[in-house]
Every structure is written in structure tokens, then in C-alpha cells.
Amino acid sequence: MREGEIEQQFKAIEQRLAVTGESIEALRQRHRAHIDDLKLELEALRRCLFQLHPELAEHYEAIRREVIQEVDPEKD
């Protein structure tokens, strides 16, 4: 293989890597935006529940700790 061909292949690989990196970054940003949307929705639901059922606020932390232990015990 000639040196020129090797350089062309190297540049093509660099370009593909750059495009892939840009795609990954765009995907990461979209995921972050979706996570932020979910956080807002969850907070709105939590507040709604607490307004409709004020007694729930007293038990929320205990329920949350119980769920963490059942679903993801390493989180604590």
C-alpha cells in the first residue's frame, strides 16, 4: 500500500470517528433533556399527591427508603 493510500484511509477513519463522537454527544444531550423532563414530571406528581393527600407527606421518606432497599439496595 502506498503512503498516500494509507493517509487517505487514516483521514477517513478520523472523519468517521468525529461523526460518531458528534452523534454520541447529541444523543447524550437528548437523553439529558429527557431525564430533566422526567424529573419535572415526577416532582409535579409528588406535589399533587401531597396536596391531595397531605398525610402522605408524613410517610413519604419511609416509603422511599423501603423502595430503595427493595429495588436497589446498593444505592443507600
pLDDT tens digits, 43-75: 999 999 999 999 998 899 999 999 999 998 888
Q: What is the mean pLDDT of the chain?
A: 94
pLDDT score of 57:
87
CA proximity to 5, closest of 13, 49, 37, 36: 13
Please, which pLDDT band fits residue 76 given cuts at 50, 70 and 90? low
For 50, residues 6+ apart whose C-beta sits below 8 A from its C-beta are 56, 57, 60
Residue 30 has pLDDT above 90, yes or no: yes
Per domain, the residue ranges of the chain are 3-75
Residue 22 has pLDDT above 90, yes or no: yes
